[in-house]
């Protein structure tokens, strides 16, 4: 095992330390989107391209190899790009690879130890997609018989396990460039509406010394039920004011009905001592406790208000809840949904894609796209939830005809976790979907106990923010967080090109 003489110098930094010195590890050599795209192209190829062999299927690109040589054919662009990328590393002694075999192995399948024929001398390279790969290396069978029998066991040298890159590593590559989009929370109506104001009467406190007695007497005469968020007394901010404080007496609706409101009509002398007070005036006070910082700031302009801040909501409303690293990961997930949406569109479906992610392991659990051409209820989110159910041994439908619709195999799941610890369908999972879900899909997300939903672009009949906010309904038994605007441009492009297609 020698370094190919022409290997580019920059590659040396990627040599693995605990493997033979010709093993390199180049992070992010193929992105998840490129992987999905290549798989899509492989499976889009006409059936006739496949040759069935024992333990694998094969596609042949670049011409038919023949012992006397090969009549070359131009490689399709989707393969050429990667041939050029690998060749640029110097793997083919300065030449560019001209031939590609695509092998498909089902779980458990593989190819026996072998040497490639002379046409493949001196170099072949392999790209593995869709799974990890185990490569076993053996010394060749020699022409002369040595002492030991030349069994497979005796010739075995070492194995390389090419695992799927952990998502964390994938993020690092892209975390450095800032994403221009911002994920904003879709809050309930109560949290996002304007501050409702009610009219009330207040009086100036000319003599500060009466304040505590006055507040005590007012609290028993006008307890301000349901307005616990209102502070009873406010300080005048302007120094020139003839009085330093003002006190809220009662809501206008609670005041005795008189032609002209005076201090006498508001405050019966037997209940409240009126010395040290000025004449009443009207103010507007917030009718409900503020739920967000913007509401609090608006409310406080009218009258001092107390506020129990939910710091996460405040940070989320500023668009700062997710770190650049988290955004890079979110973008990767959403781009997988965009890729699925495109695959769906190419099958004649609406361009909607959805990806279910387990945020604990940062693993994609299922990917689905719209299939409503086959069944009116098979919206992308419904497909994705059914695929999650299938990964857990349930599910109602089969989307095997659509290669972009996939789920993490149950074997993989059970290897990692006890079956009993499997969540109830989508408990704790994050859904990334290119377009805001409809009512049916939103209700399915409620029933499947989704953790959080991230969508790219709003939809006119959307049920997670536009037409309804199903995720905030108090009378439903499950609520969840929703964020909009993730990878917005790429998601919007799906629909703008959709419209163009409709027009032409
Ligand atoms: Zn739907």
Mean per-residue pLDDT, 204-230: 90
- Distance between CA atoms of residues 287 and 103, nearest Å: 68
> Which residues, at least 6 apart from 488, have a Cβ–Cβ distance to it below 8 Å?
181, 456, 457
pLDDT for 236: 85
User: Considering only 61-70, 221-230, 305-314, 408-417, which range has the smallest mean pLDDT?
Assistant: 408-417
Q: What is the mean pLDDT of residues 449-464?
A: 96
50 close to 59: Cβ distance less than 8 angstroms: yes
Given a contact cutoff of 8 angstroms between Cβ atoms, the answer to whether 296 and 305 are in contact is: yes
Position 109 pLDDT exceeds 60 = yes
Q: What is the mean pLDDT of residues 479-500?
A: 86
The pLDDT of residue 497: 55
pLDDT in tens, 323-336: 888 898 999 999 99
219, 232 in Cβ contact below 8 A?
A: yes
DSSP assignment letter at 350: -
Which of 167-176, 263-272, 424-433 has the least mean pLDDT?
167-176
496 sits in which H/E element: helix 488-503
- In the chain, CATH 3.40.140.10 sits at 324-496
More confident residue, 266 or 271: 266
> 321 or 414: whose pLDDT is higher?
321
**What's the pLDDT score for residue 167?**
40
Among residues of the chain, what percentage have pLDDT more than 70?
A: 85
Confidence (pLDDT) at 18: 66
Measure 34 CA to ligand 1 centroid, in angstroms: 28
d(CA 377, ligand 1 centre) in Å: 7
The secondary structure element, H or E, covering residue 149 is none
pTM above 0.85, yes or no: no
Alpha carbon of 465 to ligand 1 centroid (Å): 14
Residue given tokens 């399948």 in the structure block: 109
Q: Read off the pLDDT band of 276 (50, 70, 90).
A: confident
* pLDDT over 90 at 292, yes or no: yes
pLDDT for 344 beyond 70: yes
Please tell me the distance between residue 442's alpha carbon and the centre of ligand 1 in angstroms.
7
Average pLDDT of the chain to the nearest whole number: 83
Distance 175 CA to ligand 1 centre (A): 32
Residues 10-57 have pLDDT tens digits of 676 777 766 666 777 777 778 777 887 888 888 888 888 888 887 788
- How far is ligand 1, taken at its centre, from the CA of residue 487, in Å? 20
Spacing, Cα 471 to ligand 1 middle (Å):
14
Token pair belonging to 73: 């054919």
Task: Name, in order, each residue with C-beta under 8 angstroms of 298's C-beta and a sequence gap of 6 or more.
Answer: 194, 195, 290
> Is a pLDDT exceeding 70 seen at residue 147?
no
The tokens for 196 are: 């409702």
User: What's the average model confidence in pLDDT over 273-288?
Assistant: 90
Q: Measured in angstroms, how far is the CA atom of residue 342 from the centroid of ligand 1?
A: 17
Mean pLDDT of 259-279: 85
- pLDDT at position 156 is 73
pLDDT at 177: 44
pLDDT higher at 129 or 143: 129
Residues shown for the chain: 504
Q: Does pLDDT of 290 surpass 80?
A: yes
Give me the percent of the chain exceeding a pLDDT of 90: 42
Q: What is the pLDDT of residue 229?
A: 94
Residues 253-282 have a mean pLDDT of 86
Gap from CA of 30 to ligand 1 centroid (Å): 32
Three-class DSSP labels, 47-62: HHHEEEECCEEEEEEC
pLDDT in tens, 155-186: 777 777 666 554 433 333 333 345 789 999 99
**If you average pLDDT over residues 428-432, what whole number do you get?**
96
* 44 Cα–ligand 1 center, Å: 26
Contacts 24+ apart (CB under 8 A), 240-243: 242/204, 242/206, 243/204, 243/205, 243/206, 243/278
Pull the structure tokens for residue 132.
């990890």
- Band of pLDDT at residue 312, cut at 50, 70 and 90: very high
Can you tell me the mean pLDDT for 75-93?
Answer: 81
**pLDDT value at residue 218:** 92
- Mark the residues whose beta carbon lies below 5 A from ion ligand 1: 379, 438, 441
Q: For 63-70, what is the mean pLDDT?
A: 75
Per-residue pLDDT at 412:
45
CA of 397 to the centre of ligand 1 (A): 16
Candidate CATH numbers 3.30.1700.10, 3.20.20.60, 3.40.140.10, 3.40.50.1240; the one for domain 324-496:
3.40.140.10
């Amino acid at each position: 095992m020698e370094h190919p003489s022409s290997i580019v110098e920059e590659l040396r930094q990627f040599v693995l330390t605990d493997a033979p010195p010709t093993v390199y590890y180049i992070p992010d050599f193929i992105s998840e989107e490129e992987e999905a795209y290549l798989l899509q192209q492989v499976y889009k190829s006409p059936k006739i391209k496949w040759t069935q062999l024992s333990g694998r299927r094969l596609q042949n690109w670049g011409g038919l190899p023949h012992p006397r040589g090969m009549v070359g054919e131009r490689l399709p662009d989707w393969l050429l790009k990667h041939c050029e990328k690998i060749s640029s590393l110097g793997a083919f002694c300065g030449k560019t690879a001209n031939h590609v075999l695509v092998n498909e192995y089902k779980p458990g399948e593989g190819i026996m130890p072998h040497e490639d024929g002379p046409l493949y001398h001196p170099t072949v390279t392999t790209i593995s997609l869709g799974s990890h790969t185990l490569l076993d290396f053996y010394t060749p069978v020699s022409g002369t018989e040595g002492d030991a029998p030349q069994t497979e066991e005796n010739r075995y040298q070492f194995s390389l396990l090419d695992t799927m890159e952990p998502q964390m590593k994938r993020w690092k590559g892209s975390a450095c460039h800032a994403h221009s989009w911002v994920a904003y929370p879709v809050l309930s109506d109560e949290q996002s509406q304007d501050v409702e104001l009610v009219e009330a009467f207040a009086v100036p406190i000319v003599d500060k010394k009466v304040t505590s007695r006055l507040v005590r007497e007012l609290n028993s005469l006008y307890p301000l039920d349901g307005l616990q968020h209102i502070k009873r007394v406010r300080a005048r901010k302007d120094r020139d004011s003839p009085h330093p404080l003002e006190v809220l007496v009662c809501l206008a609706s609670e005041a005795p009905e008189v032609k002209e409101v005076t201090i006498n009509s508001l405050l019966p002398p037997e209940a409240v001592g009126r010395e040290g007070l000025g004449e009443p005036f009207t103010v507007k006070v917030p009718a409900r406790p503020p739920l967000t910082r913007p509401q609090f700031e608006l409310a406080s302009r009218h009258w001092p208000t107390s506020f129990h801040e939910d710091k996460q909501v405040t940070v989320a409303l500023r668009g700062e809840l997710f770190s650049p690293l988290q955004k890079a990961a979110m973008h990767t997930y959403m781009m997988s949904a965009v890729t699925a949406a495109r695959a769906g569109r190419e099958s004649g479906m609406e361009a909607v894609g959805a990806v279910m992610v387990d945020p604990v392991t940062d693993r994609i659990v299922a990917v689905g796209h719209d299939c409503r051409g086959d069944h009116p209820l098979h919206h992308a989110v419904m497909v994705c939830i059914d695929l999650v159910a299938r990964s857990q041994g349930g599910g109602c439908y089969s989307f095997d005809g659509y290669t972009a619709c996939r789920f993490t195999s149950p074997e993989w799941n059970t290897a990692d976790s006890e079956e009993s610890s499997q969540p109830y369908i989508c408990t704790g999972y994050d859904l990334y979907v290119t377009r805001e879900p409809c009512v049916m899909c939103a209700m399915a997300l409620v029933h499947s106990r989704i953790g959080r939903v991230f969508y790219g672009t709003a939809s006119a009949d959307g049920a997670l923010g536009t037409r309804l906010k199903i995720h905030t309904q108090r009378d439903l038994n499950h609520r969840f967080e929703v964020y909009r605007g993730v990878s917005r441009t790429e998601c919007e492009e799906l629909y703008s090109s959709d419209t163009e297609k409709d027009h032409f």
